[in-house]
Structure 1
């Protein structure tokens, strides 16, 4: 799995969540809601500066964006592309199949 963070959404995370060099964001699946790839589960995020046992991690502008191994089930088979949605002033999450089984 790859996590791709665009320049525009990186600026949003820094501004809206007060993130700076060395900080982090953890992405995980939670009960309720839906995504294009899961019914009954939605994507959640939280500031977390200590990525332990990451399934996937990427660093953008000094910030670690990651998915913990415990949430592999939610992302397995997909890369996560995070972009900025100007209409909603928020991140937009795109799941792209990667062939991982």
Structure 2
């Protein structure tokens, strides 16, 4: 599995989350909501240091990652992160 971040999403992280070089951004399974993969769970995103890093993408020295404990959520899919141009919010797609 891998993480793919679009150019627009990278700009979103820099502007909205004030992500800077050397920082870590975690994608995690959170209880509540729903997704294409699981009812009752949705994808969350936060800035925090990794504890048990499983998957990592480094772009412009910003580390995007998923912890071992959250890998089940992706069910073998790659995570693609883009931005909805109208809503100006992150969108996630899961690709086998």
What is the TM-score when the length of structure 1 is the normalising length? 0.90
Considering only aligned residues, what root-mean-square deviation do their CA atoms show, in Å?
Answer: 0.9
Give the match for residue 37 of structure 1: 37
**Does 2:86 match 1:87?**
yes
Runs of 5+ consecutive residues of structure 1 not aligned to the other structure: none
**Does 2:12 match 1:51?**
no
Tell me the distance in 1 between the aligned counterparts of 2:4 and 2:71: 16
1:46-100 deviation per Cα after TM superposition (whole angstroms, max 9, x unaligned): 111x223211110112111100001111113110000111111111100011xxx
Give the secondary-structure state (helix, strand or coil) at the position aligned to 2:20. Answer: coil
How many residues get paired? 96
Give the secondary-structure state (helix, strand or coil) at the position aligned to 2:33. Answer: strand
Runs of 5+ consecutive residues of structure 2 not aligned to the other structure: none
Tell me the distance in 2 between the aligned counterparts of 1:32 and 1:53: 23
